[in-house]
């Protein structure tokens, strides 16, 4: 695949492509180590080739797969709405809907909304969202009560945070770990999701 094609991939596509390449070479190495057992090694090699080329074909034939997570509503600039939606799991295998969004033209604040299952969790406000990345740490302000919709929601299953301090500091799509006191101790955020978040401040379509 040419460099131009790779550069044209979205964050999620590049992530899946890199994972496919990594898996391919790991299985290749395993197949080589079993050279004394000819047929098992050939079978593993065949499976690796099928998986690798299937992943490449999927990326080439589905160019909008990753970008489908970044949605835009642009009836007019004043009501422009862009968001990144993802379902992530914490270390206890609980699922959370994680939505980063911006309302209005480029340059408007970006908000991170975390939603749990109503009845299973109650989010207390205000509670800062802690973000960890290597040696760096951030504490994102809880702005849930500034949203009339969430302030009146008695289920208390959602919280919103100001994402801009984090986006202002990030210079690459590094993996992050989220921590919310009394809710989850670690919610991993993969690099392709971070890439979607970083695209939101200036996204126009």
Using pLDDT thresholds of 50, 70 and 90, give the confidence band for residue 3. very low
Q: What pLDDT does residue 155 have?
A: 67
pTM for the model stands at 0.65
Interval 54-101: pLDDT, tens: 555 444 433 333 333 445 555 455 568 899 999 999 999 999 999 999
Residue 49 has pLDDT above 80, yes or no: no
Tell me: the pLDDT tens digits for 20-36? 556 555 655 555 554 44
Read off the pLDDT of each residue in 187-192 and give the average, rounded to a whole number. 97
Per-residue confidence (pLDDT) for residue 101, from 0 to 100: 96
Reply yes or no on whether the pLDDT at 14 is more than 80: no
Domain boundaries, the chain: 3-61, 68-199
Say which residues have a Cβ less than 8 Å from residue 185's Cβ, sequence separation at least 6. 90, 91, 179
Q: What percent of the chain has pLDDT over 70?
A: 58
Q: Tell me the average pLDDT of the chain.
A: 75
- pLDDT for position 58: 45
The predicted pLDDT at position 60 comes to 42
C-alpha neighbours within 13 Å on the C-beta side of residue 75:
2
């Amino acid at each position: 695949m040419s460099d131009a094609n790779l550069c044209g991939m979205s964050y999620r596509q590049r992530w899946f492509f890199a994972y496919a390449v990594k898996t391919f070479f790991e299985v290749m190495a395993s197949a080589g180590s079993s050279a004394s057992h000819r047929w098992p090694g050939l079978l593993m090699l065949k499976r690796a080739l099928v998986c690798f080329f299937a992943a490449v074909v999927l990326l080439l034939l589905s160019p909008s797969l990753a970008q489908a997570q970044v949605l835009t509503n642009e009836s007019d600039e004043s009501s422009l709405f862009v968001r990144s939606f993802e379902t992530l799991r914490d270390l206890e295998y609980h699922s959370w809907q994680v939505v980063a969004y911006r309302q209005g033209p480029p340059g408007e604040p970006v908000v991170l909304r975390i939603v749990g299952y109503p009845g299973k969790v109650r989010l207390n406000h205000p509670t800062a969202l802690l973000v960890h990345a290597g040696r760096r740490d951030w504490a994102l302000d809880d702005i849930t009560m500034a949203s009339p919709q969430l302030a009146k929601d008695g289920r208390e299953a959602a919280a919103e945070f100001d994402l801009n301090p984090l986006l202002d500091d990030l210079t690459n799509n590094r993996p992050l770990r989220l921590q919310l006191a009394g809710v989850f101790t670690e919610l991993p955020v993969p690099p392709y999701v971070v890439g979607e978040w970083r695209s939101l401040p200036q996204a126009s379509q």
